[in-house]
A and B are shown apart, each in its own frame.
Chain A
Amino acid sequence: MKRLTKLADLNRMANTLRKDVIEMLTEAGSGHSAGPLDLADIATALYFNVMKIDPKQRDDPDRDRLYVSCGHTAPIWYATLARAGFFPVEELKTLRKLGTRLQGHMDRLTVPGVESSSASLGQGLSISCGSAYAGQMDKKNYQTYCILSDGEHDEGSVWEAIQFAGHYHLQHLTAIIDRNNIQIDGPTEEVMTKEPLRDKYEAFGWHMIDVDGHNIEAVIDACNEAKAIVEKPVVINAHTIPGKGVDFMEYDFRWHGAPPGKVDTERGPAKSKQSAEALKQLRTLGGKIDNGDL
């Protein structure tokens, strides 16, 4: 697998993943838009730069591991794994269809590159703790990454895992929070207060790094910083814009669990034109991001 080292290439890949997500969701007719779109930059940083991973050696005991706790963000991870060479890109359009390997939520047994099945929130950090603990027992240096949504911090089991990782000083564990401030029923702080996340994590013995989740260079830096901190587990609080890249989806919690074409929105086109408009914006970046040759 080719590691991308130029920022322009990384940004281009993130944009490709976003287009994949829109096309997959449009084809499927159901699924989540906001989270997958806002995770594109983080997914790109991890799979195309940070992580030691090779689709040809999926069982390499020294590979880095990534566990996605918020399984509803499956489309972005499917797109990432396909673009990284774990399975054919053409297969993406089978998302959520009868007989597909690409289930609505991720299934480890069917999708190459998926480290653990997930969907029910609040479970992935514990699995990641087990992975990091196993690495410590075996004196391995692989890094275990866990992608968490901010909404799932409502689950008590997440705090059990945070407590465990702090207690056992799991130094090779990096949690990344998709802090997009929305969950299904509305803004996170209205549904159930999450803050102060930094104080909470630090009280449990973690080190927190805040980062702009759309600045790929900053995400890569944060991941490298996390590896350099050896006495504690590290959580990267990645601040993201839900629906990032598609103007009429950004910041709107109604897109948490809906695909293009399924939400009446004042800011965007009619339902029947939402998918085409989203793709157009992603092709042109809506004039918002200067990516030179993109």
Chain B
Amino acid sequence: MLNNSAKLKRNTLSKDVDIVATRDGYGMGLVELGEQRENVVVLCGDLTESTRSAGFREAYPDRFIQMGVAEQNMANVAVGLALNGKIPFVSTYAVFTPGRNWDQIRISGCYNNANVKYAGAHTGISVGPDGATHQAMEDIALTRVLPRMTVLVPCDVEETRKITHAAAAIVGPVYFRFARAGSPAFTSAKTPFKVGKAVVFRDGDEVAIIAAGPIVHSALLAADRLIEQGVSARVINNPSIKPLDEKTIEQAARECGAVVTCEEHQVMGGMGSAVAEFLAVTYPVPMEFIGMHNSFGESGEPAELLKKYKMDAEAIAAAVKKVIKRK
């Protein structure tokens, strides 16, 4: 059953759960930050509407910088602003940040320990009809290898709002990602979120499903179906990929004895890899990985793509059964 202390919405598992894009949480968070912190500046590479930076542009036009389609320059103008007291949010698609300007992020952002916030929009397969070119499936791998970088992945619109605030509060480079498509808005303002913390959303003791991003909701649906088949799955929301909540993850491995990780990202180098790297040297257990297996996506509706590439509740349930057999 759902963990009460997670304070999820009552209709989390019903059909009437609100569907809202996580990127809207970024837009809300930015406008709130604009009010709270006068040194927050938003940079956008000609994608103001679709990254949801438009609200900030309307509210604080003097602190919004139109960068044009020049993402390398955008990343380092942000560094120049940060070195001079601003908190810049770099807004574009994740295929461009960190995809196109990774060298700028590595040297000028991270080696400098510049206080820049990189917001990656249009991540995961759920980007949909735009196809493989726009579906960022590598961004977590690209950012989590960088020293000094914090990497955060929100599961719904409210958590995206919280993460936008958390990014501003951290001193140093932060990457966080969000998605284009609508997804269940199931966490509440009271749902705990803290950098470096994973939160148990559903109790269980036979397998731990550790997930990040909107796919967390699919993991909850999968766990709900599994209980009818007599399988008790713990679902952990793991938004803080770096730093990782080692305590919660090790405890899950010890108590459940098997782990399935879920993310809309390449399996190589993603959140699941981070969990596997940690458990391999602390408490190794059988693992399965839900994510993209070394291929590009394609055009289609989000639900169709999630099904085809085995990132939906059904695929998660199947992975759980598979991993339990290996215990």
Are A and B co-members of a single complex?
A: yes
Query: A162-199 toward B: CB 8 Å interface, digit per residue (1/0)?
Result: 01100100000000000000000000000000000000
Contact across chains for B70 and A123 when beta carbons are under 8 A apart = no
Residues of B in contact, count (CB < 8 Å): 30
The interface stretch among A94-102, A107-115, A247-255 is A107-115
- For B104, the closest partner residue in chain A by CB is A123
Whether a CB of chain A sits under 8 angstroms from the CB of B75 is: yes
Do the beta carbons of B104 and A129 come within 8 Å of each other?
no
**Residues 53 to 69 of chain A near chain B (Cβ within 8 Å):** 61, 65, 67
Residues of A with C-beta under 8 A to B83: 108, 115-116, 127, 130-131
User: How many positions in chain A have a CB within 8 Å of any CB in the partner chain?
Assistant: 33
In the complex the two chains form, what is the Cα distance from A129 to B43 in whole Å? Answer: 13
- A174 to B189, alpha carbons, bound, how many Å? 48
**CB pair A130 B78 closer than 8 Å:** yes
B72–A126 touching, CB < 8 Å: yes
A283 CB → nearest B CB, Å: 37
Tell me which residues across on chain B come within 8 A of A157, comparing CB atoms: 72-73, 76, 104
- The interface residues of chain A, by DSSP majority, are classed as helix
Contacts of A138 in B (CB 8 A): 84-85
Contacts A119-B107, A133-B81; A127 near B113 (Cβ below 8 A)? no
B84 lies within 8 A of A164 (CB)? no
A100 to B67, CA, bound (A): 38
Residues in A with CB closer than 8 Å to B70 are 160, 163-164
Chain A residues with CB under 8 A of B77:
126-127, 129-130, 133, 161, 164
CA distance A209 to B41 in the complex (A): 33
Contacts of A127 in B (CB 8 A): 76-77, 79-80, 83, 108
Of the residues B41, B76, B85, contact of A123 by C-beta under 8 Å: B76
> Is there contact, CB below 8 Å, between A129 and B72?
no
Q: A274 at interface (Cβ–Cβ under 8 A)?
A: no
User: Could you tell me if A120 and B103 are in contact, using CB atoms closer than 8 angstroms?
Assistant: yes
Contact A123 B107 (CB under 8 A): yes
B107: A residues at CB distance < 8 A: 117-120, 123
Residues of chain B within 8 A (CB-CB) of A116 are: 79-80, 83, 108, 112
- A contact residues around B310 at 8 Å (CB): none
Q: How far is it, in angstroms, between the C-alpha of A134 and the C-alpha of B76 when the chains are bound?
A: 13
Residue of A nearest to B86 (CB): A134
Residues of chain B within 8 A (CB-CB) of A135 are 84
Tell whether A137 pairs with B80 under 8 Å between CB atoms, given A118-B107, A126-B75: no
Choose from B80, B104, B108, B111 the contact partner of A131 (Cβ within 8 Å): B80
* Closest residue on chain A to residue B71 by CB atoms: A160
Question: Which of B70, B76, B107 gathers most chain A CB within 10 Å?
Answer: B76
In the assembled complex, A128 has its CB within 8 A of some CB on chain B: yes
- Contact B80 A134, beta carbon cutoff 8 Å: yes
Question: Which residues in window 51-67 of B have CB below 8 A to A?
Answer: 62-63, 65, 67
A292 located at the interface, meaning its Cβ lies under 8 Å from any Cβ of chain B in the complex? no
Could you list some 15 contacts between A and B, CB below 8 A?
A117-B108, A117-B111, A117-B112, A118-B107, A120-B104, A120-B107, A122-B72, A123-B104, A126-B75, A127-B79, A130-B81, A134-B81, A134-B84, A137-B86, A164-B70
